[in-house]
Amino acid sequence: PSGVAAVEEMGKFAAVILTGDIRFTLQLVKNIKEYVKLGGTVVVNSGHAKAFDKAFLGLEVEKSSFTSQNMKVAAVKLNTARPIFTDEKARPLITKNNYGKGSVIFTAPYFMLENNKKSRSPLITKLLKKIQSEVMPFQVSGDVQFLVNKMDKDNWKLILMNNRGVSKPPLSSFQKIHHEFDSKVTVTVP
């Protein structure tokens, strides 16, 4: 929630998502902006908007809000940002602004929570898929969990996991494969 992440540390990641209650310092904001300027992607929520200027966000957050898709959403006035996802009335829910060589993705629903503050917005899945399609050198599709590690500038490690398809009793080395949970997965590389 506090402290300063170095530009070099953030640079290890294709995208940085700001979540929760962050106590922004001037140095942290400067580092985030430099990370994006150098080619990174950062996701900023409307709850964090006060820490950043409108040139970085590409928009102005208005004092009003509205309810859409069971979420409280900050109303925004677009400057250079463009909508990625809108609601049924064409009001921006998520925007993207080019900044330097990178991108600022702005999520207008407060902390991406539904109004009950316990359920995450279904927009999160759409957003993560969109970010994946833009920042990853390959695409993964199918009903599977996956992890990605960038080993160096030319090498990546991809780990596919289908946790639903395996059971193993505690303290046993025996595991059972449940083929009814097999999943077709496609990895597309350039």
pLDDT band at 108 (very low <50, low <70, confident <90, very high): very high
19-74 per-position pLDDT tens digit? 888 889 999 999 999 999 999 999 999 999 999 999 999 999 999 999 998 889 99
52-62 per-position pLDDT tens digit? 999 999 999 99
120-178 per-position pLDDT tens digit? 778 888 898 888 888 888 889 888 888 888 788 788 889 998 877 888 888 888 888 88
Element housing 10 (H / E): helix 7-10
Which pLDDT score is estimated for 48? 93
Distance, CA of 162 to CA of 182 (rounded, Å): 8
Three-class secondary structure assignment of 53-88: CHHHHCEEEEEEEEEECCEEEEEEEECCCEEEEECC
Residues 11, 32 contacting (CB under 8 angstroms): no
Which pLDDT score is estimated for 88? 94
**What contacts 24+ positions apart, CB below 8 Å, involve 115-122?**
115/67, 115/70, 115/71, 115/72, 121/69, 121/71, 122/69
Residue 131's identity, in one-letter code, is: I
- Report the 10 Å Cβ neighbour count for 104: 26
DSSP state of 138: S
Distance, CA of 74 to CA of 94 (rounded, Å): 10
Which pLDDT score is estimated for 2? 61
Please state, rounded to an integer, the average pLDDT across all residues of the chain: 90
Which pLDDT score is estimated for 162? 83
Write out the two tokens for 158. 């991809």
What stretches of 23-167 show up as alpha helix (H) in DSSP?
26-37, 54-57, 123-135
* pTM for the whole structure: 0.79
